[in-house]
């Protein structure tokens, strides 16, 4: 369309200038998207490589699982004791509450687990 109107003496150069500005903005947006995609690919490849390298390390897998299972399990036992204490006291485990210095750990574990579930659901959308 711009090339058809470029032969008009006064309007042609103006339209060519506007067209070149628009194409520069379009090229800049494409370069930004390409750079962002390359960064995402590199980050994903690095994460996959770390997972692949540490997959056979049994000690690391046990520690990673314990870091999530222990706070969640402890919180579940505290919740169980709270629910069962009124009507069935013989079913209680009598778990001590978290010390104040580490009281944030179950919240972090739950946020991590639910966050991962949310991200997986969002990606599969």
Spans of all domains in the chain:
1-55, 57-125
Tokens found for residue 21: 């500005």
Whole-number CA gyration radius for the chain: 29
Name the pTM for this structure.
0.43
Give the confidence band of 96 by pLDDT, cuts at 50, 70, 90.
Answer: confident
Residue holding tokens 């390409």? 34
Give the confidence band of 11 by pLDDT, cuts at 50, 70, 90.
Answer: low
State how far the Cα of 101 lies from the Cα of 112, in Å rounded to an integer.
20
Helix (H, G, I), strand (E, B) or coil at 92: coil
What pLDDT sits at residue 28?
A: 67
Each residue's pLDDT tens digit, 40-73:
888 888 888 877 777 777 887 787 777 778 888 8
- The angle that helices 105-123 and 58-84 make with each other, rounded to 10 degrees, is 110
Each residue's pLDDT tens digit, 110-125:
888 888 888 888 877 7
Helix (H, G, I), strand (E, B) or coil at 96: coil
User: How would you class 89 by CB atoms within 10 Å of its CB: exposed for 0-12, middle for 13-18, buried for 19 or more?
Assistant: exposed
What pLDDT sits at residue 14?
A: 66
What pLDDT sits at residue 90?
A: 92
User: Residue 4 pLDDT > 70, yes or no?
Assistant: no
What pLDDT sits at residue 88?
A: 92
Which of 64-68, 84-88, 98-102 is predicted least confidently? 64-68
């Amino acid at each position: 369309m711009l090339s058809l109107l470029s032969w008009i003496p006064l309007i042609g150069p103006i339209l060519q200038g506007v067209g070149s500005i628009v194409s520069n903005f379009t090229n800049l947006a494409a370069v930004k998207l390409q750079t962002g995609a390359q960064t995402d690919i590199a980050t994903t490849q690095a994460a996959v490589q770390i997972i692949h390298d540490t997959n056979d390390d049994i000690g690391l897998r046990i520690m990673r699982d314990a870091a999530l299972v222990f706070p969640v399990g402890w919180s579940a036992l505290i919740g169980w004791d709270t629910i069962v204490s009124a009507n069935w006291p013989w079913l209680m485990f009598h778990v001590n509450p978290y010390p104040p210095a580490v009281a944030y750990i179950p919240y972090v574990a739950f946020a991590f687990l639910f966050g991962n579930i949310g991200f997986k659901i969002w990606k599969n959308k």
